Amino acid sequence: MTSKPSTSDGRAHSTSHTSGMGMRGTSSSHSPRPFRPCADCTCSPGLLSRQGRRASLFLRQLENSRRSSSMLLTELKGASGSNTAGNGSVYSCDSLCATNREVNTTDRLLKLRQEMKKHDLCCYIVPSCDEHQSEYVSLRDQRRAFISGFSGSAGVACITRDLLNFNDDHPDGKSILSTDGRYFNQARQELDYNWTLLRQNEDPITWQEWCVREALEMGKGLGNKEGMVLKIGIDPKLITFNDYISFNKMIDTKYNAKGKVKLVSVEENLIDNIWPDFETLPERPCNDLLLLKYEFHGEEFKDKKEKLLSKLNNKSSSAATPAKTFIVVALDEICWLLNLRGSDIDYNPVFFAYVAINEDVTILFTNNPFNDDISEYFKTSGIEVRPYDQIWQHLKKTTAAQAASAEHKFVVPDGASWQMVRCLNVLYDGGTVKGMALPNYIMIHSPIDVLKSIKNDIEIKNAHKAQVKDAVCLVQYFAWLEQQLVGREALIDEYRAAEKLTEIRKTQRNFMGNSFETISSTGSNAAIIHYSPPVENSSMIDPTKIYLCDSGSQFLEGTTDITRTIHLTKPTKEEMDNYTLVLKGGLALERLVFPENTPGFNIDAIARQFLWSRGLDYKHGTGHGIGSFLNVHEGPMGVGFRPQLMNFPLRAGNIISNEPGYYKDGEYGIRIESDMLIKKATRKGNFLKFENITVVPFCKKLINTKLLNEEEKAQINEYHARIWRTVVHFLQPQSISYKWLKRETSPL
């Protein structure tokens, strides 16, 4: 978003996308770039991104480049009456920098391997997440992007140090980047020659298996000396305890390498050690907190706390004694529970914190500043505030104080880090004290994850308001874009278009920023699932090709995530057919009535069936949960093929996206995404249904009505009529937006 996030299963220099409390956003450089030698110069988008620099030189060069393109267009039109000549196009722009590479990672990897030598590591793992297991992280936590140059939101970097190379000054080795299907194209473009892409669910091994195999291979080369331990290192805050256990189990069972290969904790983060040698190490954000009013959250903290404690008591009732304190780790869960919001991570209204909560006290560990009103709120709510880093001391100290007790002291979520469990086990050896079995903590799936996903009546009402606001903005945007590109034959690049959309959104009351980095993509760029336009050298939007816009807003009323694929001139039959197949899948899912306790895993095929009938598919999930002025990706439920979705059925009150797509590499991409509320199906017993709460029309030019049946035509016409009734009141009758909406919502 990421990069967006649009599908459930990035960034040039910082630019403000703010309003209200000041949520920030960054732009990403994901466009195709040819291979050229790189001097790692300061124009590297990777360097610009993490230091938030805006280089005026680049802006001047970009403007000169655009002027050159305009002059070339005039000359070509005069000479041939055509907009293109040879293989050139006025809709693309050559690089401003002759060293057109993202990040040269050679020296970074060398420095990292030197650090690995100090810790006797043969392999080091660099995850994407922060210590809260966040999907989207602050600049300070983009360690994997720093070492690899890959800016997508999901992926793991694994780096080996060849133990057979005894040159301590220049250790070498291998490096891989493992990511999912959303990012294959992007990773190929952003990774340099030092890296190999490991494609999740397509290549025969996982990144965990790769690490163990490489370690064992080095062990063979050293003769498998007795007592030799091959160490794979990781920061224990950046891996969940469950993943740590799974890794060790794989080492033992699949490779029978227990004692030979070991996953070890390296509390001193090695990326942080070398980062200042190349760039200024970003500071961890620590912005003002925002207290939501009841009209936006609909449920007070004391009521949420009571619900949570009730769930915890049920969870721990089978244990010998009731659990005492629950540790809240996920940032969006903390925000939901306390009715607070922040702006520490771009596009995500969260702040860095932990919470320890029990019947007697709630302790918030954070460094973020807050005003007198929030201070009074903390006092009346019984919330004690302590510094962020004191969470670790609190866990150790409380555990030590209860060393002789037979009670459970803590309940931790299954997303808790290995480091958190290590702190809880600080006095324990194998879970025993003085010979007595002592399970000093229990681990459960966080009840807040499910509670948060079920919107209350006020949140649902506000979600509708947010959708109408965003629909008005998108209608104005698409009307403007058509007028500029077709009516005035203007040259507008993807980035400038995305910025225009943000400007339009800022006119809406309670707009707090974008909910992810806008995916504004023309032609072949739309085939990159999580593409975001670079600030400099962004492609010109070509009105003769498909344009995909995936964007969302953060309003106080709620979060939106909407994708519309449009064509401004004459699409090909193939584009129309495939757009219609994608549309048919979304419509089918929207019509579905299904039993309660149905997981989204079971209905994913509904949206894919029409593409499958033509041998087509898409490499992302069909739907993800959406927060209420929170993260645009919200669990635990969703619609997709991830096995874990089987554990979390869809529930009334969930808001999820419906976003089938199709992507033809090198040519175009199609995605149609609307947000749906899950409701009780009246007169259907214990059944549920979907309500499409997004009110933005589909692209009529791209619909092949011959592929639609009568039910589908009626569904589209009814939807477009509802959009017209809902949105028209916010448009001036003589405006281009009014005329655009009237045309696009007219019956098929």
Residue 425 pLDDT class (50, 70, 90 cuts): confident
Return the pLDDT at 405.
58
CA distance 85 to 461: 54
Which of 43-52, 169-178, 356-365, 642-651 comes out lowest in average pLDDT? 43-52
12-21, 452-461, 510-519, 574-583: which range is least confident on average?
Answer: 12-21
Checking if the pLDDT of 8 tops 80, the result is no
485-523 pLDDT per residue, tens: 999 999 999 999 999 999 999 999 999 999 999 999 999
Nearest-angstrom CA–CA distance, 474 and 697: 10
With a cut of 60, say whether residue 438 has pLDDT above it: no
What's the rounded mean pLDDT across residues 535-540?
A: 93
Domains along the chain with CATH numbers: 14-18+456-744 (3.90.230.10), 106-277 (3.40.350.10), 299-451 (3.40.350.10)
pLDDT at position 166: 76
Would you call 284 helix, strand, or coil by DSSP?
coil
Q: How many other C-beta atoms lie within 10 A of the C-beta of residue 591?
A: 13
Confidence at residue 82, expressed as pLDDT on a 0 to 100 scale? 37
Stated as kind and residue range, the H or E segment containing 187 is: helix 184-190
Confidence label for 317 from pLDDT (cuts 50, 70 and 90): low
| pLDDT, tens digit (0-9, with 9 covering 90-100), for 212-268 | 999 999 999 888 787 789 999 999 999 999 999 999 999 999 999 888 999 999 999
Does residue 81 carry a pLDDT above 60? Answer: no
Q: Is the model's pLDDT at 476 over the cut of 70?
A: yes
Close Cβ partners of 674 (under 8 Å, ≥ 6 residues apart): 562, 586, 590, 657, 658, 659, 692, 693, 694, 696
- State the pLDDT at residue 97: 33
Q: Give yes or no for residue 412 having a pLDDT over 50.
A: yes
For β-strands 655-658 and 674-680, DSSP reports them as antiparallel
How much of the chain exceeds pLDDT 70, in percent? 82
pLDDT of residue 734 exceeding 90: yes
- Say which residues have a Cβ less than 8 Å from residue 128's Cβ, sequence separation at least 6: 135, 137, 144, 153, 154, 155, 156
Residue-averaged pLDDT of the chain: 86
**Short-list 107, 99, 103, CA closest to 36:** 99
Q: How far, in Å, CA of 748 to CA of 702, rounded?
A: 12
Instruction: Report, as an integer, the average pLDDT of 21-38.
Output: 38
When pLDDT is averaged across residues 640-666 and rounded to a whole number, the result is 96
At residue 19, does pLDDT exceed 50? no
CA distance 208 to 497: 41
* pLDDT at 257 (0 to 100): 87
Q: CB neighbours of 386 closer than 8 A, spacing ≥ 6?
A: 363, 364, 365, 394
For the stretch 84-94, pLDDT in tens is 333 334 443 33
Rounded CA separation 443/413 (Å): 6
- Give Cα separations from 92 to 124, 204, 228, 271, 678 (angstroms): 39, 37, 56, 36, 42
DSSP state of 507: T
Least confidently predicted of 61-70, 361-370, 721-730 = 61-70
Instruction: Check pLDDT > 70 for residue 152.
Output: yes
Task: Give the pLDDT confidence score for residue 728 in this predicted structure.
Answer: 98
Instruction: Answer whether residue 179 shows pLDDT above 50.
Output: yes
For residue 9, is pLDDT > 60? no
- One-letter amino acid identity for 727? V
Determine the Cα–Cα distance for residues 258 and 251; give it in Å rounded to an integer: 6
pLDDT of residue 324: 82
> Which one has a higher pLDDT value, 625 or 103?
625
pLDDT at 684: 67
Q: Three-state SS across 415-464?
A: CCEHHHHHHHCCCCCCCEECCEECCCEEEECCHHHHHHHCCCHHHHHHHH
Please state the rounded mean pLDDT for residues 470-478: 98
Range with top average pLDDT, 54-68, 138-152, 405-419: 138-152
Task: Give pLDDT, residue 20.
Answer: 39
Residue 329 · residue 443 · CB < 8 Å: no
Give the pLDDT mean for 621-634.
97
The token pair that represents 336 in the structure block: 């939901």
Please report the pLDDT score of residue 456 as a whole number.
98
- Confidence label for 75 from pLDDT (cuts 50, 70 and 90): very low
pLDDT, mean of residues 570-591:
98
Is 250 within 8 Å of 193 (Cβ atoms)? no
- pTM as predicted: 0.86
Q: What is the DSSP letter of 684?
A: S
Q: Is the pLDDT of residue 83 over 70?
A: no
Q: Give helix then strand counts, H and E, for the chain.
A: 21, 32
Question: What is residue 103's predicted lDDT score, i.e. its pLDDT?
Answer: 78
Q: Nearest Cα to 102, choosing from 219, 11, 217?
A: 11
Which of 37-46, 190-199, 426-435 shows the highest mean pLDDT? 190-199
* pLDDT (tens digit per residue) in 182-191: 899 899 999 9
What pLDDT is recorded for position 12?
Answer: 33
- Give the per-residue pLDDT at 32: 35
